Structure 1
Amino acid sequence: MLTAIAAAFLGGLILNLMPCVFPVISLKALSLIRHHDKPGHARAEGLAFLLGVVLTMIALVAVLLLARAGGASVGWGFQLQSPLVIALLILVMLGSALNLFGLFEVGLAVQRVGGIGGDRGGLIGSALTGALAIVVATPCSAPFMASAVGYALTQPPFISVVIFISLALGFAAPFTLISFFPLLARVLPAPGAWMITLKHGLAFPMLGAVGWLIWVLERQAGSAALAAILVCCLLFSFAAWLYGMAQKRRMMGKGHWGLHIATLVFLLLVVPPLANLKTTATSPNGAEASEAAAAVAWSPQNVDAIKGQGKPILVNFTASWCITCQVNDRSSLSTQAVKTAMAQTSTIYMVADSTKYNPDVEQALSDFGQGGLPLYVVYPADGGKPVVLPQVLTPRIVISALEHAAVSDKKS
C-alpha cells in the first residue's frame, strides 16, 4: 500500500507535465505571476488550489467507487465517457478563453467591494481552477500512476481514497509549494502591461482544448452532437458578449438589466441543446463502420479464440479523449517501422476503444491491474503469458515486443 501511495504521489507530480493539463495549469501560473508581490495572498491561493484539487478528487472517487459497488465496470477518466460532461467542459474551456481575451470579467462586482471581497473571489477562483484541472487531467495517465490507480481500484474503499488523495496531493504540490516561497518574487518580472499580452496568449491553449474536446464529442456521439455543440458555442459566446457589455454599463451606473438578458440567452438557448445532447447522438457514418468492420474486432472472446494459434496479438486499449493514446498512435503504432514489424511477425492488431463506455474494456483494464488508459498488451504466438508494454511507447519498444512474441513460438 505504501508503494502505491508513493507511486500515486509521483504520478501526480508528473501529471503536471502532460499536455491535457497544460491549458488549465497555465491559468494557475498566471495567477501566481499576478500575486507574486503579495506573499500572503499567494499562499492563500495555493492552499485554495490544493483544496479544490483534493475535494474534486474525493468527489470523483466517491462516484467511481459507488458505480463499481453497483456492479458497473468503470475506471479512471470515466466521466469523459459521457457526452454531456464533454459538452460542459467545452463550454467551461470556451468561457475561460473568452474571459482571458477580456470579453467579460468573472466576479467584477466583487472586485469593486475592496480587498477582502477581492481576496475571497480570488480564492474561489483558485479552488475552481484546481477542480477543473483535476477533471481534465483524467484523460492522461502518467508513469507510475496507472499501476497505483489499478491497485487502488482493487482495495477496500478507505485504502482507495487514501491512494487517490495521494495522487491529488502530488498533482497540486508544485503550485502549492511555489506559492509558499517568497523568493519566487525575485525570479518573476514585476506585474505590468505585459501581463495583458500574456493573458491573451494563454487563451489560445484553452481554445486548443476546446477544439480537442469538440473532436472527442464528435467521435463519441456523432455528427448531430457536433452540430449541437457548435450552436451552443456560438450562443454561449453571444451571451458572454452581452454579459461583458452589461458589466461595463453597470460599472458606469447605467443599470444591470443586460446581466439578466445575457443569463436568459444562456438559459433559453444554450441549455436545451445540452439537455438533449444524448438523444441527438448518431451512429458512426458508413465509411467509419466499414473500416471498423474490416479490422479484427477486439473482444475477450476473440482474444481467447485466436491466442496460441501461432500468431502474436497486439491489443491497443485506447480512447479519443486519451491524449497519451493519441500521441503513442502517431509516434509509434502508426509508423512504417512498426507496421513492417507487424507484417513480418504476422501480428494480429486489435483496437479496444473506450471512447464510449465499454464494460468489457473496463473489466480488461481491471484484470491487468490498470486503472486507466492507455494499455498495450502483447500476447505471445505460443499462447504464453501476455506482456504489458509501457504507457509511453517508442517504435523500438513495440518492435522488440513483437519480435520476442514471435520468437517464443519458434522456440516452443
Structure 2
Amino acid sequence: MRLILATLLTLSAVLLQAQAYAQMPGSSGSNPFGIEQPDFLPVEEAYKLEVEPAGEGLRLYWQIADGYYLYQHAFKFQGEDHRGALPLRENLPEGLDRTDEFFGDVSVYYNSADITVDTERQRDGSLQLTVTSQGCADAGLCYPPRKQYFSWAPGAAEVTETTPPKRKPQVTAAPATATEGNGSSLAYMLLLAFLGGAILNLMPCVFPILSLKVLSFAQSSDHDRHLHSWIYTAGVVVSFVAVAAVLIALQQAGSAVGWGFQLQSPGFVIALAYLFLVMGLSLSGLVHLGGNLMNTGSALADRGGLSGSFFTGVLAVVVASPCTAPFMGTALGFAVTQPPLTGLTVFAALGLGMAAPLLLFSYSGAARKLMPRPGPWMETLKELLAFPLYAAAIWLLWVAGRQTGVNTMAAVLCGALLLTLGLWLWEKGGARRWLAAICAAGALGLASMDNLDPAGGAEKQLTDGRVAWSNEAIEQLRTSGTPVFVDVTADWCITCLANETAVLFTEDITAAFADHGVTYMVADWTNYDADIAEFIASHGRTGIPLYVMYPPAGAGQPFLLPQIVTADIVMEALEVVSGK
C-alpha cells in the first residue's frame, strides 16, 4: 500500500512539474517529460508596438499575435516634459468582453489595438512617454505588466524608443530667483511655511514651552485662554517678522547671512544656555520667577500675564531657530529672493503655523478634553519639563565649546554655577541680594571673556574619508571624474545632527560612498564663514542643512537632496552620480 501511494505521489509531482515548465515563456513544444505543450512567444513578439505622431498627440498601434490578447484596463500612459508631469488623455477603442481566469469579466483586444494619446496642455520641450500594458495567451500564459519608454522631440517626425530611465533621488528644487512671484507660487510657499511652523512645535527646545502654555489652560476661563493664545501668537509672529526684517536688511546690505545666524555668536549661545538653566530651576521649584506658569521662560513675564504670554512667544521663536522643519527651507529660500513685503508675508505665515496648535487648544473643546483634570499631576509635570530644558542648556554649552574651545565651556559652567548661587541667594532676600547681584555679574563676566574668540574653537573631526569643503576642491575632484557630495552642517543645527546620526554617518552609508567612489565633503558653518554663506545662497537656500550632490564634470548638473534624508534617498543619489 505504501509503495502504491508513493508511486501516485511521484507521478503527480512529475505532471505538476511538466505543467509548470510548459507555462514558462519560451518553453519548447516538447518538454523533457514527453508532454506536448504550446510554444509561447516572447512578450516583444507577441505584442509589437509602433508609436507615431498624430497631430498634437501620438498614435500607439499594437500588432497582437494570433491566440494572444491585451487587457483594456491594464493600459497606463504617463507623460513628462521639462515642467514635470504632463497630463494625458487617451482614446481607447471598444474591446471584446471576456470572462478571464485571472481578472474576471474584462475587455480585451485581439489582433490589434489602436490607441491615440493627446496632451492636456502645451508641452514644453521633449515628451517623455511611459506606456504600460499587459496581455495573456489563450493557452493559459499571462505575462507580467510591461513598461516601454519613448521620447518625442518638438517637431520630430518620429518617436524614439528609449531605455528605462534611472530612478532619480528625491530632490529639493531651488526656489525661483525672479523678483516677483506669481499668486499660485506665493500661496504654495505660504502653505509650506505654515506647515513648517506647525512642525517646529515638536522640536525638543520648543515643545516644553508649548507644553507649559497648554498646561495653563487646564485652569483658565474661555476668555483668558483666547486672549492669552492670541497674545502668544502675536509674540511669535512679531518675532519671526523681526528676525526676517533683520535677515533681509543684512542681505540687501551685502552681508551673506542665513537663517539661524544668531547662533553663530558664542555670546548669544551662552546667553540662551543661561536662560534655559534659569527656566529649568524655576520649573524645579528652586527659584520663583513668577506665580503664573505662563510667565516661566522670561523675566519680562513679571510685568503681568499678557506680557508673559507675548514674551513666551518671543522665546519660542528664539529657541526654534536651530531647527529646520520639513517644507521650511524651500519657503525661507523663496522669501529672501522676493521683494521685502512678500518675504515678510512668508515669515508671518511661518509664525502663524507655529502658533496654530496653541490656538487650536484654546478654541477646541475636543482638544482640551484630551487634557486631564487639574490636580497634583500638574506640579509633577511642571517639574518633569525642567529636564528637557536642562538638556537643552547642556547642548548649547557643547555648541559653545565647539565654537570656541573647551576653556570656554569650563568658564561658562563656572558662570552657570555662579548664576545658580546668585538665584538661591536672591530667594533668601535682604542683604544677600547684594551677593546675588555680584554672582550674576561674575556669570556675565565669565560669559564675555576673551576666550570667546571663535578662532579658538575645535576643528570638526573629519574621519572615514570625509574632507573639508572648498569650492576649489569641488572643481578639482569633478574635473578628475570624481563625484562629490557636500554636507553643509553646524553643531547648533538639530536637523543636521539627526540626519548625520541616523543616516549619513552610519556604517552602511559610509561604505556606500566608498563603493560608489563619491567624495564626502563637509562644510562646517558652526561659526560664521562668508564663503559658506555665499555657497548656501548660490543654491537658493537661507539655512541648513544643505545637501548638494555633484556629478563629475560634464556628466550633469548638481542637484539638492531634501533637508531630511533617508538611506534610500542617499543611495539613489549615489547611483545617479556614479552610474552604478
Shorter-chain TM-score: what band? 0.7 to 0.9
Q: Is the 8 A contact 2:289 2:302 kept in 1?
A: no
Partner-residue secondary structure (3-state), 1:179? helix
Q: 1:263 aligns with which of 430, 437, 447?
A: 437
Q: 2:571 aligns with which of 399, 403, 411?
A: 399
- Between the aligned partners of 1:278 and 1:59, the Cα distance in structure 2 is 30
> For the structure 1 residues 261 and 107, does the alpha-carbon distance in structure 2 shift closer, same or farther, using more than 3 Å as the test?
farther
Higher helix share: 1
Q: How far apart are residue 16 of structure 1 and its match?
A: 1.6
Q: How far apart are residue 282 of structure 1 and its match?
A: 5.3
1:346 aligns with 2:520: no
Partner-residue secondary structure (3-state), 1:350? strand
Asked which structure has the greater CA Rg, the reply is 2
Partner-residue secondary structure (3-state), 1:391? coil
Q: 1:273 aligns with which of 446, 457, 463?
A: 446
Query: What are the superposed Cα offsets for residues 175-232 of structure 1, whole Å, 9 maximum, x if unpaired?
Result: 0231123454433222121211111100000011011111111111111211221111
Identity of aligned residues (%): 41
Higher strand share: 2
Q: How far apart are residue 123 of structure 1 and its match?
A: 2.1
- Between the aligned partners of 2:249 and 2:359, the Cα distance in structure 1 is 30
Matches within 5 A, 1:22-101: 22-33=207-218, 35=219, 37-101=220-284
Q: Is the 8 A contact 2:190 2:349 kept in 1?
A: yes
> For the structure 1 residues 398 and 294, does the alpha-carbon distance in structure 2 shift closer, same or farther, using more than 3 Å as the test?
closer
Q: How far apart are residue 289 of structure 1 and its match?
A: 7.2
- Between the aligned partners of 2:350 and 2:394, the Cα distance in structure 1 is 28
- Between the aligned partners of 1:294 and 1:405, the Cα distance in structure 2 is 18
1:373 aligns with 2:544: yes
Partner of 2:408: 225
Count matched residues: 387
1:313 aligns with 2:484: yes
Partner of 1:139: 322
Partner of 2:358: 175
Q: Is the 8 A contact 1:315 1:378 kept in 2?
A: yes
Matches within 5 A, 1:293-312: 295-312=466-483
Partner of 1:161: 344
Q: Is the 8 A contact 2:323 2:495 kept in 1?
A: yes
Q: 2:332 aligns with which of 149, 173, 182?
A: 149
Give the TM-score, by structure 1 length: 0.87
1:327 aligns with 2:501: no
Q: Is the 8 A contact 2:464 2:510 kept in 1?
A: no
Partner-residue secondary structure (3-state), 1:272? helix
Q: 2:311 aligns with which of 123, 128, 138?
A: 128
Query: What are the superposed Cα offsets for residues 314-367 of structure 1, whole Å, 9 maximum, x if unpaired?
Result: 110100001110011011111121112111111111001110011122212212
Matches within 5 A, 1:183-202: 183-202=366-385
Q: 1:13 aligns with which of 198, 209, 217?
A: 198
Partner of 1:356: 527
Structure 2 residue ranges without an equivalent (≥5): 1-185, 295-300
Q: Is the 8 A contact 2:407 2:451 kept in 1?
A: no
Q: Is the 8 A contact 2:198 2:354 kept in 1?
A: yes
> For the structure 1 residues 361 and 231, does the alpha-carbon distance in structure 2 shift closer, same or farther, using more than 3 Å as the test?
same
- Between the aligned partners of 1:219 and 1:290, the Cα distance in structure 2 is 11
- Between the aligned partners of 1:391 and 1:132, the Cα distance in structure 2 is 24
Q: How far apart are residue 259 of structure 1 and its match?
A: 4.0
> For the structure 1 residues 221 and 383, does the alpha-carbon distance in structure 2 shift closer, same or farther, using more than 3 Å as the test?
farther
Partner-residue secondary structure (3-state), 1:9? helix
> For the structure 1 residues 343 and 108, does the alpha-carbon distance in structure 2 shift closer, same or farther, using more than 3 Å as the test?
closer
Query: What are the superposed Cα offsets for residues 73-132 of structure 1, whole Å, 9 maximum, x if unpaired?
Result: 0011110111011001001100000000111212359x9xxxxxx996222222222111
Query: What are the superposed Cα offsets for residues 135-170 of structure 1, whole Å, 9 maximum, x if unpaired?
Result: 111111111110110111111211111111111111
Q: With a CA cutoff of 8 Å and minimum separation of 6, indicate the structure with the bigger relative contact order.
A: 1
One-letter amino acid of the structure 1 residue matched with residue 578 of structure 2: A
One-letter amino acid of the structure 2 residue matched with residue 48 of structure 1: I
> For the structure 1 residues 290 and 43, does the alpha-carbon distance in structure 2 shift closer, same or farther, using more than 3 Å as the test?
closer
Partner of 1:251: none
Q: Is the 8 A contact 1:51 1:127 kept in 2?
A: yes
- Between the aligned partners of 2:371 and 2:210, the Cα distance in structure 1 is 17
- Between the aligned partners of 2:246 and 2:454, the Cα distance in structure 1 is 24
Deviates more, 1:175-184 or 1:48-57: 175-184
Q: Is the 8 A contact 1:225 1:281 kept in 2?
A: no
Q: 2:456 aligns with which of 273, 279, 283?
A: 283
- Between the aligned partners of 2:550 and 2:368, the Cα distance in structure 1 is 54
Partner-residue secondary structure (3-state), 2:259? coil
Partner of 2:83: none
One-letter amino acid of the structure 1 residue matched with residue 403 of structure 2: Q
- Between the aligned partners of 1:340 and 1:185, the Cα distance in structure 2 is 49
Q: How far apart are residue 307 of structure 1 and its match?
A: 1.8
Give the TM-score, by structure 2 length: 0.63
Q: Is the 8 A contact 1:8 1:145 kept in 2?
A: yes
1:386 aligns with 2:572: no
Q: How far apart are residue 306 of structure 1 and its match?
A: 2.0
One-letter amino acid of the structure 1 residue matched with residue 440 of structure 2: F
> For the structure 1 residues 25 and 186, does the alpha-carbon distance in structure 2 shift closer, same or farther, using more than 3 Å as the test?
closer
Partner of 1:4: 189
